[in-house]
Amino acid sequence: MGDYESSSTPTNEGEQHLIAAARHIMQALRSSSFLTDDLRKTLSELESHLSAIAAITERKTEEFSEIEKRLKSAEEEVFSWESNDQIMIWDSGPVEASNYLKSIDEIQTLIQNFTSLSVDEYGKHKELLYRADSVLQLAMSRLEEELIHILVRYEQYLEPEYMSFRLSGADIVYDESFVSVEEESIEEAYQRNRYTNESDDYYVVDLVQPLAIPHLKSIAKAMFASNYGYEFCQSFINTRKYALDKYLVVLGVQIFSIEDVLKMEWTSLNLEIKKWSWIMKIIIRVYLASEKRLCEQILMEFGSVSSFCFLDISKATMARLLNFGEAIAMGSRRPEKLFSLLDMYEVLADLLLDIDALFMEETGSIVRIEFHELMKSLGNLAKTTFLEFGNAIATSNTSSNPFTGGGIHPLTRYVMNYIKTLTEYSRTLNFLLNDQCIEDSNPALELEDRQGIEDSFSSTFYPTAHHLLSITSTLKSSLDSRSKLYKDAALQHVFLMNNIHYMVQKVNSSKLMFFFGDEWKREHIAEVRQHATSYERATWSSVLSLLRDDNQRSHSFSKASFRERCRAFSIAFEEVYKSQTGWSIPDLELREGLQISTAQNVIQAYRTFVGRISGHISDKDIKYTVDDLEKYIFHLFEGSPRSLHHAFIRRR
């Protein structure tokens, strides 16, 4: 009997027929007159076993009937929603949702009960197990629909302050000839090259309304318990990826190939870079941080599933953003790109800790590595671009014609405003120029730590100062070469005086002063004064020599000689006036200072000369009065050529 009981159990109906047949045989044997006592004892034991088997079979029959009844009830609950698929379960209320989940729990329990029974391949147990699996599959499909519906219905958009991207001003335009833009536009360089948004405060937000989180968790629990976790994750990931894609469209994110980026005009590309810098912070600090929290709220109890889902949701977006940065890092090293490169590098350095926190698990290592590599590439390109800026100045095209009027050359304006803007990136440049390996250090922490140092000590101790000084030295050499294009030595000095004075002004009125120091300032102010003195000597020495009486014996000169000297001086002065009114000293203070200095020397000499000859010739022979000369000297350097000949005729 032991062997019998351990064999595969037949269906309930088969068991009943077998027991009935056995009892019939036993009755026939008992009526036999040939039974021995041992056989009677065996039949008695067999009767006991048959009674026990009958009791077990009856109990199984009752259990099976109960299981079938419970399955039918759960089926009815599931099928009732299939016939009314226009209404969502969780929209109908908590009671309906709870009942549906209870039905799923019941089906799961029944399936476990079925699998614990020995089932004949063709028996009714197998049929009911198949029914239970089919109903469960139908319920899981419905839960996927409910999941997607809840995610979409309760989706929340980011706050308005994250949706605004604004730019101001126009860019510094660089070309090989250093054609300048307007001074006012250049002065706005820093503001132009920075992206702006409504708020710099970033915080995690609810991408799905909080009231929906318990619903999503209950669906996740039901599906994972039914071994449908993969299906849950796929629906969840796809829905959240679609939400993220929609948000990227709202932000204006476009897909560019590497070829698109490399061929793009600088104006358009610069705008895209600024948008990229703004979007990177919003996506990483707000959206992805919020997305990761959402994944954790729903899936944290399922171990690493949360991290896998978050990575799947975010990796395509991160790849798109990083690919744009990689395309920029492959581009040329033109000077106008430097500010944008530094902006991009600083954005990545600022987000480094955020990225490491978001993708800290092993599954996210590929994103972390690509992020670090891009930051390193952009840093190296920015560094190289900065170091080559001096070469760009030295090798810029020098026209064979001098700059009209001897004013401030566009090259000077461009370079000084360029390096003035660079001071806003001094901490970043110092870090990059120190040749420290980005992989072995944290730029975000390095830059933060150095801020206190730079606030305490002169920035002249840092590598950026050395390179900025080198750039201005190259600029001065270029200006010196350009000054030699002027045939007039006096105009050479005016040109250099103007440009060096402009350099001093830019240094003195900006953070450049912290890099250049007082000694540089004193030396260059002295150069400005020296060029002013050299101008006066080159212009007025020969003119004033006509007024000097070298032998101090005016009585030895004839009246005709005095008249000739007056005429020669007037002609010489008129030539100076005609040419030098067209020369330009844009800075009013510098212009007035040179006018006053010139007037003091010229007027004093002329007044002495006129006083000495006034008794020898008539007033008609003195073409210009002292007051006339003083007034005319203050017409010099205004950039508009004038003629004294017409002025004299009108006066006479």
How many residues are there in the chain? 652
Ranking 3-7, 161-165, 447-451, 630-634 by mean pLDDT, the lowest is 3-7
pLDDT of amino acid 7? 37
What's the farthest any 2 CA atoms get from each other in the chain? Answer: 188
At 468, is the pLDDT very low, low, confident or very high (cuts 50, 70, 90)? very high
State pLDDT tens for residues 250-304.
888 888 988 999 999 988 999 999 999 999 999 999 999 999 999 999 999 998 9
Higher-confidence residue: 601 or 558? 601
CA 578 to chain CA centroid, nearest Å: 55
pLDDT of amino acid 68? 74
Distance CA 116, CA 640 (A): 106
Q: What number of H helices and E strands is found in the chain?
A: 27, 0
CA torsion, ordered 311, 313, 316, 320, to nearest 10 deg: -100
The pair of three-digit structure tokens given for residue 54, joined into one six-digit string: 């009958």
3-state SS, residue 251: helix
Higher-confidence residue: 342 or 196? 342
Instruction: Evaluate whether 443 touches 502 at the Cβ level (below 8 Å).
Output: no
- Which range of 300-304, 419-423, 494-498, 615-619 scores highest in mean pLDDT? It is 494-498
Which neighbouring-strand residues pair with 155?
208
pLDDT of amino acid 76? 83
Ranking 3-12, 191-200, 424-433 by mean pLDDT, the lowest is 3-12
Residue listed under structure tokens 């953003």: 321
In this structure, how many other beta carbons lie within 10 angstroms of the beta carbon of residue 178?
A: 21
Higher-confidence residue: 495 or 399? 495
The pair of three-digit structure tokens given for residue 441, joined into one six-digit string: 């250090």
The pair of three-digit structure tokens given for residue 367, joined into one six-digit string: 């994103």
- Residue 303: which residues within 8 A CB-CB, separation 6 or more? none
pLDDT of amino acid 358? 94
The pair of three-digit structure tokens given for residue 388, joined into one six-digit string: 């080559």
What letter represents residue 290's amino acid?
Answer: S
> Above 80 in pLDDT, residue 3?
no
Distance CA 161, CA 159 (A): 6
> If you average pLDDT over residues 562-574, what whole number do you get?
88
Distance CA 557, CA 128 (A): 140
Of the candidates 218, 209, 212, the one whose C-alpha atom is nearest the C-alpha of residue 100 is 218
Which neighbouring-strand residues pair with 638?
584
> Above 50 in pLDDT, residue 5?
no
pLDDT of amino acid 561? 80
At 203, is the pLDDT very low, low, confident or very high (cuts 50, 70, 90)? confident
> If you average pLDDT over residues 17-44, what whole number do you get?
62
Instruction: Evaluate whether 532 touches 597 at the Cβ level (below 8 Å).
Output: yes
Distance CA 487, CA 283 (A): 60
State pLDDT tens for residues 484-528.
999 999 999 999 999 999 999 999 999 999 999 999 999 999 999
Residue 83, classified by CB atoms within 10 Å of its CB into exposed (0-12), middle (13-18) or buried (19+), is exposed
> If you average pLDDT over residues 187-211, what whole number do you get?
66
Per-residue DSSP letter, 164: -
- Residue 632: which residues within 8 A CB-CB, separation 6 or more? 573, 577, 624, 644, 647
Per-residue DSSP letter, 172: P
Ranking 184-198, 501-515, 546-560 by mean pLDDT, the lowest is 184-198
Ranking 142-146, 176-180, 611-615 by mean pLDDT, the lowest is 176-180
Instruction: Evaluate whether 278 touches 253 at the Cβ level (below 8 Å).
Output: no
At 194, is the pLDDT very low, low, confident or very high (cuts 50, 70, 90)? low
At 122, is the pLDDT very low, low, confident or very high (cuts 50, 70, 90)? very low
Ranking 3-17, 104-118, 122-136, 390-404 by mean pLDDT, the lowest is 3-17
pLDDT of amino acid 339? 93
Distance CA 386, CA 622 (A): 61
Higher-confidence residue: 289 or 614? 289
Distance CA 239, CA 224 (A): 18
What's the chain's average pLDDT? Answer: 81
